[in-house]
Structure 1
């Protein structure tokens, strides 16, 4: 059995660990500083720990950094990183530079059990949750990690189906003893797992993004089976109980499908559903996936849809497509790797 990793442990977990090992309590903060603020790869590099402390830790633990297995670089600067997990599966993270911002899109699960019709990750099926360390590793192990300004949990998996590990990773990313990122620089996406969403809203100050895609129950049920369990009206009603009038933001993700969700009746129903809610709607071009009956709306339809929503008072933006030449849509690269592995 490999030694357990230190990466992914919170300060309270590190404190428990050092006390069990007979080390001073303050050693926990020293370890956290090295893990989450410094560019080290071994316990021996933690030079302000005593030699005895480093020896004790090295005998039982490892840093836990896992370098990407592959990287694909786009002509637009986007990079797609492929990682091997502890269970020898594959997950992806996307690095997206843009002027003075550098965003990292991270995964929270291997595969996904939610079965959304438009998602390649869902076609893989559910293969496991990522640990907090495996989530943080997607940031900590890439060469650009210290220049990342924003993080979005919009990669493989449903973050709120892995809530404990996602919350632990957010604690590491936002705490002073960790990476000290502002929670206003982090967005967590969900398809609407309502109980876990409530826990997140009450225990984190990070932004929330909800995958909406159509305001009509029957259409959403066909696209997203979660609609059978947590209808989007109930999800939106719950969100209304929280304050998004300040810097915290809620957004609704809306992939545009030709002839499916891009009509005037959708504009009207979206306006009703989101009325008087301080939010934004992000329109997203569809990256085609194999064997899907869905096709993306034309740019003309997307622009008209944006303008119609804006005219109704909904703050609406169109997300720029990035990395199409390197299969940057979630699940494509890892699926390819899985297929290669089976050959």
Structure 2
């Protein structure tokens, strides 16, 4: 490490502080933002409308901080899993998912995860660190397919709302006029219902996805220890206080496990639980991970589950599985990389 601070991932207010420190006029912050987020430069030397002497000063103290992926794996279906190094011996994953009408990037927010969900490979790693705004945004900006992106989902390694401060800086840069100037409708934040949820609902117009996986508290607790601290009932009661009928959308993620949560009884209970929330449910086929006895439900049962929810007025779809030949489950590629070091 060279000890330099990284400009990529700084908000406009933070860049104003850098400009002041460098003895630059206030408008230089907007110039730096243009170079970083519009032109996507990789070096301060490319910021040619900043005086040469000031660029030299900046180069002595700062760097852009854009870093290419260290590895990747490409699926036969076009999905690409990228590995980014985020410190000595630390790696996170991003997954690029192209389809006919969109190109989505699934972004990580932490190294490992504290939540320890039974079905999640990232949770088996344990928690190592929150990613900085630089490390989160770099997964987007340094993606080889960056210019093709239409959507971003914070649904990779880690719990985004457990790292809410850094997440919000990235959301600001993605949506602000000085940054990417994206519509919030192109961005979805996925959560199991962590402590930052109320702030997100109050301050962001981005879409929300909530990991539910069972309509029954005890069963959900057996899958997701977070049910004890943040019960699904409380999460749903909070969500009911907000408007999801216009610009912002809420969806519920439901991984379907064989003979555990795939019965029509579960579908009816789920419909009852969500009946007051304008939402959709995404059914997800489980990708097996080592040393976990859970199995994926068969497609017939998933279709019956979907049809039951739709008949109850809950929009429900079965998410297409992607990238199964390239360590599809979150955390598997980074876990394999870490084991190579040991």
What range describes the TM-score normalised by the shorter chain of this pair?
Answer: over 0.9
The TM-score with structure 1 as length reference comes to: 0.98
Aligned to 1:164: 165
Aligned to 2:308: 308
The TM-score with structure 2 as length reference comes to: 0.98
SS in 1 for 2:63: coil
Task: Tell whether the 8 Å contact from 1:94 to 1:328 is kept in structure 2 after alignment.
Answer: no
The answer on 1:188 being equivalent to 2:185 is no
SS in 2 for 1:53: helix
Aligned to 2:229: 229
SS in 2 for 1:95: strand
Aligned to 1:176: 177
Aligned to 1:10: 11
Distance 2:341 2:88 in 1: 14
Please, what is the CA RMSD of the aligned residues? 0.9
Structure 1 runs of 4+ with >2 Å offset: none
Distance 2:161 2:87 in 1: 21
Query: Cα offset for 1:2?
Result: 2.4
Distance 1:248 1:109 in 2: 25
Task: Tell whether the 8 Å contact from 2:89 to 2:338 is kept in structure 1 after alignment.
Answer: no
The within-5 A match list for 1:242-261 is 242-261=242-261
Task: Tell whether the 8 Å contact from 2:283 to 2:319 is kept in structure 1 after alignment.
Answer: yes
SS in 2 for 1:326: coil
Task: Tell whether the 8 Å contact from 2:113 to 2:157 is kept in structure 1 after alignment.
Answer: yes
Deviation track 1:223-266 (CA, whole Å, cap 9, x = no partner) reads 00010111101100100000001021000000000011011111
In terms of mean alpha carbon deviation, does 25-34 or 117-126 score higher? 25-34
The within-5 A match list for 1:48-87 is 48-87=49-88
Aligned to 1:285: 285
Aligned to 1:31: 32
Aligned to 1:110: 111
In terms of mean alpha carbon deviation, does 275-284 or 46-55 score higher? 46-55
- Give aligned pairs, total: 341
Query: Cα offset for 1:272?
Result: 1.2
Distance 2:222 2:107 in 1: 27
Distance 1:336 1:298 in 2: 28
Distance 1:87 1:245 in 2: 45
Query: Cα offset for 1:143?
Result: 1.3
Aligned to 1:40: 41
In terms of mean alpha carbon deviation, does 129-138 or 271-280 score higher? 271-280
Gaps of 5+ in 1: none
Gaps of 5+ in 2: none
